[in-house]
Structure 1
Amino acid sequence: MHYTGTIWRPPYEASSLLLEVTAGCTHHRCKFCTLYADLPFQFRMSPMEDIEADLKEAQKMYRRFMGRKVSRTFLTGANPFVLKYDRLMEIAGLVHKYFPGMETIGSFARVTDITLKSDEELAALHGAGYDGLTIGIETADDEALRFMDKGYLAADILEQCGRLDKAGIRYSFFYLTGISGAGRGEDGAKATAAVCNKLHPLLVGANMLTIYPNSGLYQEIRRGNWKEESETEKYREVRALVEGLEIPTEFAALGASNAFQLHGVLPEDKKKLLAFLDDVIENVGEDELRRYRESVHHL
């Protein structure tokens, strides 16, 4: 299999066939991000012959060792959905050629990737199996989005994910707790909940900002341009997000950046999630939470 660098996937894609079709990120400017720092290039598309060779290899592997049907493929790379419509359709054709029973194809996507497809192309991609995208919206706080150089604003999240809803392509959001900075986290969480409430994400996941010395954000802090939230503030921020969500969706905080794992279905589990977060806020000290943050040497 042609895998390049560290392969990132959401927790819920653990049983998916991981197929590399891109490596790196087309944007590569988010100040907090270090996920693709190990690559000697910014972004690369996999040759179609490599993709087909990997599918042939995976087909043999699943037949010989797995003893089970694979129903989902997850395309790896920071934002494979940036690929042009024709290439995505060609990839889908190869997936279905070697795995005729494949039901869905997912990937990470940036909000800006959706703008590159017409409504008709999105509908056709859904028909070819594309479903269950994972979008790191991070926040709907425009000030934070501008400062972190995300390349879009809250209005773009609403417009482009609304187009996914129309096309029938389901998606999950990831929120980055702490992205708004000290004293502003709860406002950012409320703004994000308000945007989510106008859309239909399958899941809203929360990760916690962990700042590394090789990030642009670390340099902004050293220059005095930005201040990190306390760890307790971050949990108040997560609480504000959960409290503000009014749509039926899953909520999860399961990644390594979270000192405490959370998972529930909204609205029925909201009280339970809020009670758990209240317990953390009231009974777990800042020093203990900070020790955990400092122990996360790599995501």
Structure 2
Amino acid sequence: MHYTGTIWRPPYEASSLLIEVTAGCTHHKCKFCTLYDDLPFKFKMSPLEDIETDLAEVRSELSAWHSQPVNRVYLTGANPFVLKFERLKEIADMIHKYLPECQTIGCFARVTDIARKTDDELKALYELGYDGITIGVETGDGEILEFMNKGYPPEEIVTQSHRLDTVSIKYNYFYLTGISGAGRGKIGALATAKVFNQTHPQIIGSSMLTIYPNSELFAELQAGNWFEETELEKLEELKTLIGNLDIPVYFATLGASNALFVEGQLPKDKAAMVTHLEYLCNTQDESDLRHYRTHLKQL
């Protein structure tokens, strides 16, 4: 199998077959991100020959071991959805050739990747099996989206999510608790809730900001241009976000960046989740949570 560098996938894609179709990120400008710093290049597309070889290997292994059918394929890389429609179609056709039992194809996507597709292309991609894509929106705080170089305003999150809704492509969000910085956590959470309440994600996965020395954000922190929230502020921010979400969605703190786990189905579990977070805010020790953050070697 062809894999390059560290392979990142959402926790809920653990049972999906991972196929590399890109490596790296086309944007690679977010100040907080260090996920693809181990690569010697910014972005590359996998040759179709490599993708076909990997799919043929999977097919052979499935046949040899009489394994369970592959119902879902997850394309790896920071944002495979950036690929042109024709390329994504070729990949889907190849997947269905070798894995005819495959029902859906997922991947990471940037908001701007969706914007580059026409409505007809999005509809065709859904018909090819693309569904349940994961978008790292991070926040709905427009000031911070600009500061962090995300490359789009919060209004685009709503616009492009609506376009996915129109063609029935389901999507998930990742939110980055702590991204708004010291004193702005609640402001960012309220702004994000306002944006998210206009959309229909299936899952909202919350990561917690961890700043590494090789990030551009670390330099901004050292220069005094941005200040980090305390760990307890981050919990307050999370409580504010959940408390102001009015959409039906599964919400969970996902990944190693979270020292504490919170999950539930909104709106059913909202009150219990807010109460639990209030309890954590009142009982957790800042120094213990900070020790976890500073000793987290990688996400």
| Structure 1 and Structure 2 fold alike (TM over 0.5) | yes
Q: State the partner residue of 2:217.
A: 217
Q: State the partner residue of 1:279.
A: 279
1:238-277 equivalent positions in 2, closer than 5 A: 238-277=238-277
Q: State the partner residue of 2:227.
A: 227
- Aligned counterparts of 1:30 and 1:142: Cα–Cα separation in 2: 14
- Aligned counterparts of 2:273 and 2:222: Cα–Cα separation in 1: 35
Shift of 1:85: 0.3
Shift of 1:19: 0.4
Letter of the 2:81 partner, please give it. Answer: F
- Aligned counterparts of 2:66 and 2:175: Cα–Cα separation in 1: 34
Runs of 4+ with deviation above 3 angstroms:
none
User: Does residue 51 of structure 2 align to residue 51 of structure 1?
Assistant: yes
Letter of the 2:58 partner, please give it. Answer: A
**RMSD over equivalenced CA pairs, Å:** 0.8
Letter of the 1:29 partner, please give it. Answer: K
Which secondary structure does the structure 2 equivalent of 1:97 belong to? helix
Q: State the partner residue of 1:86.
A: 86
Q: Deviations over 1:115-161 (max 9, x none)?
A: 11000100000000000000000001011001000000101101111
Q: How many residues align?
A: 299
User: Does residue 293 of structure 2 align to residue 297 of structure 1?
Assistant: no
Q: State the partner residue of 2:9.
A: 9
- Aligned counterparts of 2:255 and 2:176: Cα–Cα separation in 1: 11
- Aligned counterparts of 1:278 and 1:65: Cα–Cα separation in 2: 50
Letter of the 2:118 partner, please give it. Answer: S
Output the TM-score relative to the length of structure 1. Answer: 0.99
User: Does residue 24 of structure 2 align to residue 18 of structure 1?
Assistant: no
Q: Please, which runs of 5 or more residues in structure 2 have no aligned partner?
A: none
Q: State the partner residue of 1:205.
A: 205
Q: State the partner residue of 1:37.
A: 37
Q: State the partner residue of 2:130.
A: 130
Q: State the partner residue of 2:165.
A: 165
Shift of 1:62: 2.5
Shift of 1:66: 6.6
Q: Which moved more, 1:280-289 or 1:72-81?
A: 280-289
Shift of 1:64: 2.9
Letter of the 1:223 partner, please give it. Answer: A
- Aligned counterparts of 1:278 and 1:66: Cα–Cα separation in 2: 49
- Aligned counterparts of 1:8 and 1:254: Cα–Cα separation in 2: 13
Identity over the aligned pairs, expressed in percent? Answer: 59
Which secondary structure does the structure 2 equivalent of 1:6 belong to? coil
Q: State the partner residue of 1:153.
A: 153
Which secondary structure does the structure 2 equivalent of 1:163 belong to? helix
Q: Please, which runs of 5 or more residues in structure 1 have no aligned partner?
A: none
